[in-house]
Amino acid sequence: MIPDQIRLHVSPSQIFSGFGKPFGQSRFVVLGAPFDKTSTYRSGSKFGPSAIRDASLNIETYSVRSKFDVEDAQICDIGDLHVVNDVEETLRRLSAVEGGIVAASKVPVVLGGEHTISLGAVRSFPKDLGVVCLDAHADMRDEHMGQKVMHGTFLRRIIEFVGPEKVVHVGLRALCKEELRFIKDNHVKTLSMHDLRQQSVREAARLVQGAVSDFQKLYVTIDIDVLDPAFAPGVGNPEPDGMSPDLCFNIVTRVCDERLVGLDLAEVSPLYDTGITATLGAKILFEAICAAERARTESEVK
């Protein structure tokens, strides 16, 4: 039975992965956040949740990396959040729904939507968690275009919430002088694409794994534009010189373990390609869920 706190703010949709479980029997709870109010270049990420779900129904579910099948992961898709034009109200609703999911001892998985949604998601947790952000952009401006809460400032707001020592940014290759100063002044841990390219794929993934090793709880947020536009053109703010799918999958499967308490994937804008970006998004989520479940089951055996 879905709690009233959640039911109040969501509407049913097609089921992510096609293997839906009742809420009470689930471990992962999928929620769509079709919101792109603050987009500043190419809007359309509000169509991301439906595109990711559609793609998830048309790719195979077994992970050869984790040797685990999404079909066995006990996923419940509760549908899409009721969003409004007001950013803070939308984030408040998202936090309320995620709070209900977390209170039920389940792992929320949010399908964006613009990356601002991650702020509402993180606010639903206590502050004692580490946040791993895979993103081309720093998103650490204090404000942008007169807005304090939007897709270009959300990570700064998250850092203010959990503390700079609790955030690791992976895949950085696009930032302004203000953001560079903020990173240096606050000692925010970043692993840029330049840093990662000095290593093999395997060693780069281990580098990220080591950067988050001290966190007891992990929230993982992925902006699909961390991938190079050659692989993921359907994004709101494409940025050249990005990550390959192979590196992304290797990082995600090393980071998403039994400590995972929340996950989101944002900024899929399906209007700008033929479905490849949504398919990559669905595959990344499959790999993350499979890795986390395999790690959890192995830790329980031990």
Domains, the chain, with CATH or none: 4-301 (3.40.800.10)
Q: For residue 203, what pLDDT is reported?
A: 97
Among 3-17, 58-72, 82-96, the least confident range? 3-17
Residue 58 and residue 223: Cα distance in Å, rounded? 22
57: how many CB neighbours lie within 10 A of its CB? 14
Average pLDDT of the residues in 124-134: 96
Q: For residue 7, what pLDDT is reported?
A: 86
Average pLDDT of the residues in 228-252: 97
Average pLDDT of the residues in 69-98: 97
**22 pLDDT band (50/70/90 cuts)?**
very high
- Whole-number average pLDDT of the chain: 96
pLDDT tens digit sequence for 159-181: 999 999 999 999 999 999 999 99
Average pLDDT of the residues in 35-42: 93
**302 pLDDT band (50/70/90 cuts)?**
low
Average pLDDT of the residues in 15-37: 96
Angle ∠(141,85,152) on CA atoms, nearest 5:
15
Q: For residue 5, what pLDDT is reported?
A: 82
pTM of the full predicted structure?
0.96
Q: For residue 160, what pLDDT is reported?
A: 98
Q: Nearest-CA neighbor of 157 among 122, 191, 184?
A: 122
